[in-house]
Structure 1
Amino acid sequence: MRRLAAAAALTAAALILTACNDSKGSTPSPVAWTKVDVGAEPVVLTEHGGQLLVGLRDRGAKVVPQLVVLDGDQRKKVTVTPSPQSPYAFEAIWYSIAYDGKRLLALGGAAGGAHSNTRWTVWTGTLDKGLVEHPQTFETFGGQTAGQLFSAVITPSGGALLGSWGGVETGNDASVWLPQGETKWVRQNPAKTALQSTPSLLVGGSYGTTLGEGILLVGSQVRLAPNVVAQEAAIWRSTKLNQGWSRMALPEPGDRSQALTATCTTSCVISGYVDGQLALWQLDEKGSAKRLTSVPSIPVGDKDKLPPPIVDGDRIVQIVAQDNKVKVLTYRDGGWTVQESTGAEGAVADAVLTEGKVYLIAGNALWTTTLS
């Protein structure tokens, strides 16, 4: 009887322990977000060395694009000076702001003209002296063969603007603009490089960031063959600024895929979609790529915005919005955890990690949390 009683007690204890573990594993606690008041609508984030730069849109101000810096408990408003020769600079919306601890390079855009095409503005400066807009000729970013611009980057060899332009042969090429002197920007010729589209392969970039001495550009390639059209997630990388471009199709692309954004240190994590579902890839220091497995099923399409993935030590965090509900997906040791959110809600636009805190633009507001 004593043996039976002891066995029963052990069994009961094991069942209780298992139930507790299952409950803890199946229902992770939600992520609590706290709203950060920055005085206007946040539209883009960037960080360096513990400094968080928040690009703002103040619809009621004389100069719409604004910039603030959050450095610990300190807050500084950066002077943003549009040139009087460029009227669209007053109403520009930030698309991308790059910062390397010293230099600032920013890309703004405002709809204008008879067809409401985006009128691009380029800005440079420092946190101390502020951002100054440098007017460009119409042909620099506009005209019948104009494409889109999407990213400003700063590498150790200099800054660049990334986008697309009417192809040398067909379609659109991926394009790079480099500065000439202090104020002029010049589009570089992509002919006979991996950035050029051909009759059998169309190049489609969507986001760029710095990778070491060079640039990582993510997007998709469309392969054209008789009776075959295949869109595959792809990346392009340079060895140094605009030199030595190469192209790579990302593995396991499914029937239709696109890389949308990326975060790089010495290696990269890339996020996008495959067949309408969230997908992530890792690019190691040697240039080999793999697709992460068992990614939670989250619908992602062409018009959806994904913040860049967050890399925190041995874990990867991807923030998404599903039906305007913010979800935090964490990958560690080959497994995923999905957490709901409290506080933050709405469409997500950008996210960064700095000084152990995550900052997120969601629902046209800035939020912060410390991930457990």
Structure 2
Amino acid sequence: MGTRLSWWRIPLSLAILLTAGCTGQERATGGHTGTGPAVPAWRAVTLPATGSGRVEVRDVAACPGHWYAAGGYLLPDGSTRPALWTSSDAERWTAVPVRPTSVYGPAQLLSAVACRGAEVAAVGSTAGGVHANPRISTWISTGGGRLDEVPAAFELYGGPDAIGVGRIAAGPTGWLITGTWRDANGQAGAAVWFTPDGRDFRRVDADPALESDARGQTAVLDAVGGVLGQDSGPAGTGSGFPGAAATGPGFTAVGNVITPGSRTAARDPVVWTSPDGLSWRRETIPAGAEDEALERAARYGDGVLAVGERGHGFGAWLGTSGGWRAAGRFGTFAGTDLPIVTGLAVVTGLAAGSAQRAYALAGDGTRYRLWASTDLASWTELTLPATVPAGDQRLVSLTGTGDRLLLAAEDGQATRLWTAAG
């Protein structure tokens, strides 16, 4: 059996750096804050343990009527086994049968998950081989059935040019994995993997729009289905991608570029769009003089919301058919651990008088914190149901759909889940 990979917890934004060598916010702790976001009334939920070892959740995902928690079981000797749980309401959970097919599959831990209705795909890994290199596979379940491992050649995700494989996103026309690779031009930079069916992923590592160049070193950290400025077709198809005039088939990916010559390795925000997951275009995003990086993305009405690091705290950006603009700031870095955004959810129904609320979850270097906004300009810090300090092997994940949120916290000793609704 394989062991968990500590490097897997390192943000890809840091991985790319390694290859290169309180404003307008308030705090809410209970009740309702007037016109601001409602404070979630968290309720603990339990995952059924059907395997040996301790349950460990590394990522969560939600589609209308479908909720997923991905991770595995951690055994006393440090080895892991893959596991996936599902729910129709985020409260009552069942284990999904898992079928590994490769030599390393039985020892993998699922680290990223995405869904498209009843279809769900995940990324898993474990250390293996003489040099304990990451052995990475994808996993797919269709129609609510068994989660099957999709074995891949080692050098599709690993090998001498590999730097990191990160998150997975679902789109109307397929699935997209974001990561970092030593691209075809010999430089470390952004790369993606795309498949139309969740099985045969193709790596895109030679697209000039993704590659590092004279403008700087690129890193792509997240993606969301849909491209601004296109028509996505009729609404109500049950695919999890409602029709909207401003978004269409394809993907929008977010990340950063390390500005050449910067004394502090300052980053500028970057957005890429693709109609098919294979050919990409780099979009112009307003950038300030401070360090800025986009780390998470989500659909927001007819547009795309991105959150990430901005200066000494966090910030939001909104993309619409009219272009991208910077929105509000929130949080301040503290402590000695790396800041990181680990969750972004856009929901409806958790507060009166507003159609949408955005919730951003991030580690500020000391501990994980949750912020919410009804207008993207002002953000309110909300109390989490448990305090999780920053640090290795500690992670808090967030997802949401409809009027409900799901939160998973792994503190190195136990994984706990909560859900909240208005």
Q: Quick check: 1:344–1:367 contact (8 Å CA) kept in 2?
A: no
SS at match of 1:58: strand
What is the letter of the counterpart of residue 29 of structure 1? T
Residue of 290, 311, 315 corresponding to 1:279? 315
- Residues 1:339 and 2:379 are matched in the alignment: no
1:43–1:94 CA contact under 8 A, matched in 2: yes
**One-letter amino acid of the counterpart of residue 314, structure 1:** Q
Q: 1:239 aligns with which of 275, 291, 294?
A: 275
Match of 1:214 in 2: 250
State the shift of 1:251 in Å: 2.4
Counterpart Cα distance in 2 of 1:259 and 1:301: 21
- Determine the structure 2 residue equivalent to 1:260: 295
Assess if the C-alpha contact under 8 Å between 1:180 and 1:186 holds in 2.
no
Sequence identity percentage: 20
CA deviation string 1:198-225 (max 9, x = no partner): 2442211122222241112211112325
Pick 1 or 2: higher relative contact order, CA cutoff 8 A, min separation 6. 2
Matches within 5 A, 1:302-313: 303-312=338-347, 313=355
Distance in 2, matches of 1:34 and 1:321, equals 22
Instruction: List runs of 5+ in structure 2 lacking aligned partners.
Output: 1-24, 31-38, 50-54, 227-247, 348-354
1:182-197 to 2 correspondences below 5 Å: 183-191=199-207, 193-197=208-212
1:65 aligns with 2:82: yes
Distance 1:366 1:249, change over 3 A: farther
**Would the alpha carbon gap of residues 27 and 184 (structure 1) be closer, same or farther in structure 2, given more than 3 Å must change?**
closer
Partner Cα distance (1:187, 1:79) in 2: 28
Distance 1:227 1:334 in 2: 30
Contact 1:215-1:238 at 8 Å conserved across structures: yes
Task: Quote the residue 2:113 is aligned against.
Answer: 97
SS at match of 2:201: strand
Q: Which residue of 2 aligns with 1:76?
A: 94
Q: Is the 8 A contact 2:121 2:198 kept in 1?
A: no
Compute the TM-score of the two structures, normalised by the length of structure 1: 0.80
Offset at residue 28 of structure 1 (A): 3.5
* Partner Cα separation in structure 2 for residue 137 and residue 128 of structure 1: 27
Match of 1:134 in 2: 150
Deviates more, 1:116-125 or 1:325-334: 325-334
Question: In the aligned structure 2, how far is the partner of 1:333 from the partner of 1:136?
Answer: 41
Matched with 2:3 is none
| Unmatched segments (≥5 aa) in structure 1 | 1-24
2:175 touches 2:198 (CA, 8 Å); kept in 1? Answer: no
| Native 8 Å contact 1:305 1:349 kept in 2 | no
1:4 alignment counterpart: none
Residue 246 of structure 1 aligns with an amino acid whose one-letter code is R
Distance 2:346 2:197 in 1: 36
Aligned 8 A contact 1:269 1:280 in 2 = yes
Corresponding residue SS for 1:136: coil
Partner Cα separation in structure 2 for residue 157 and residue 349 of structure 1: 29
How much does 1:164 deviate?
2.3
Matches within 5 A, 1:97-176: 97-176=113-192
TM-score normalised according to structure 2 size: 0.71
Query: Per the alignment, in what secondary structure is the counterpart of residue 194 of structure 1?
Result: coil
In structure 2, the CA distance between the partners of 1:288 and 1:301, relative to structure 1 (3 Å rule), is: farther
The answer for the alignment partner of 2:420 in structure 1 is: 369
The residue that corresponds to 1:46 in the other structure is 61
Work out whether residues 328 and 376 of structure 2, in 8 Å CA contact, stay in contact via their aligned partners in 1.
Answer: no
1:29 maps to which residue?
29
Aligned length in residues: 342
Match of 1:9 in 2: none
Q: How far 1:133 moved relative to its partner?
A: 0.9
Query: How much does 1:326 deviate?
Result: 3.7
Q: How far apart are residue 226 of structure 1 and its match?
A: 9.6
Instruction: Work out the CA distance in 2 between the residues paired with 1:228 and 1:345.
Output: 29
| Contact 2:316-2:376 at 8 Å conserved across structures | no
Larger Cα Rg: Structure 1 or Structure 2? 1
Q: Which amino acid aligns with 2:383?
A: E
Out of 230-239 and 219-228, give the one that drifted further: 219-228
Residue 297 of structure 1 aligns with an amino acid whose one-letter code is T
| 2: CA distance, partners of 1:315 / 1:129 | 32
Distance 1:342 1:145, change over 3 A: closer
SS, match of residue 87 in structure 1: coil
Q: Which amino acid aligns with 1:340?
A: T
Which segment drifts farther, 145-154 or 314-323?
A: 314-323
SS class of match (2:330): coil
